[in-house]
């Protein structure tokens, strides 16, 4: 093969390599932008879901808790009432599937990061600062507090 053709072929290969290198860099930059956009979208969706859950389902669930807590004994085995309370279970299942968990409170030491004291109760047989009653459940989602539990603690 003549030297001239060899140089021409080498030049063509260099140009092709440079073109491939340029395309690779463009594709990589585009992929990185899209990945960043996706991660921002995902983060935003988690925030929106958390806010939606915070303001939409939790008060409904609170109302079911109050109903169940104050339900007269003669209605506890009523099939219609059981059906209505099944809705509460469905809401709880939905929230669990969305990563929402109840804040553990009863019997726990008061933690201002997860609890809000609504009353202090004087007791003789318990250590000070122990949660003895949960007035309103608290919830967290993926390690982020949605709402603190409203609790009564020992004084």
Query: What digits encode the pLDDT tens for the residues 5-46?
Result: 888 999 999 999 999 999 999 999 999 999 999 999 988 888
Q: Which domain holds residue 129?
A: 102-155
Q: Is residue 129 part of a domain?
A: yes
Residue 121 lies in a domain: yes
- Which of 150, 146, 151, 152 lies closest to 57 in space, CA to CA? 146
Alpha helices in the chain (DSSP H): 3-69, 79-97
Number of domains in the chain: 1
Tens-place pLDDT, residues 76-115: 889 999 998 999 999 899 888 878 889 999 999 999 999 9
Which pair of tokens denotes residue 86?
A: 């099944």
27: in domain = no
Q: Which CATH number goes with the domain that contains 111?
A: 2.30.22.10
pLDDT higher than 90, residue 4: no
| Statement: the pTM of the whole predicted model exceeds 0.75 | no
């Amino acid at each position: 093969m003549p030297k001239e053709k060899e140089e021409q072929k080498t030049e063509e290969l260099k140009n092709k390599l440079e073109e491939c290198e340029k395309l690779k860099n463009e594709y990589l930059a585009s992929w990185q932008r899209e990945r960043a956009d996706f991660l921002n979208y995902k983060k935003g969706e988690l925030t929106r879901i958390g806010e939606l859950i915070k303001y939409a389902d939790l008060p409904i669930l609170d109302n079911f808790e109050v109903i169940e807590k104050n339900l007269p004994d003669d209605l506890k085995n009523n099939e219609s009432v059981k059906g209505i309370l099944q809705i509460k279970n469905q809401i709880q299942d939905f929230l669990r599937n969305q990563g929402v968990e109840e804040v553990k409170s009863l019997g726990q030491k008061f933690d201002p990061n997860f609890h809000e004291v609504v009353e202090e109760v004087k007791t003789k047989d318990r250590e000070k600062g122990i949660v003895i009653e949960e007035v309103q459940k608290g919830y967290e989602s993926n390690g982020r507090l949605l709402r603190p539990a409203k609790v009564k603690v020992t004084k």
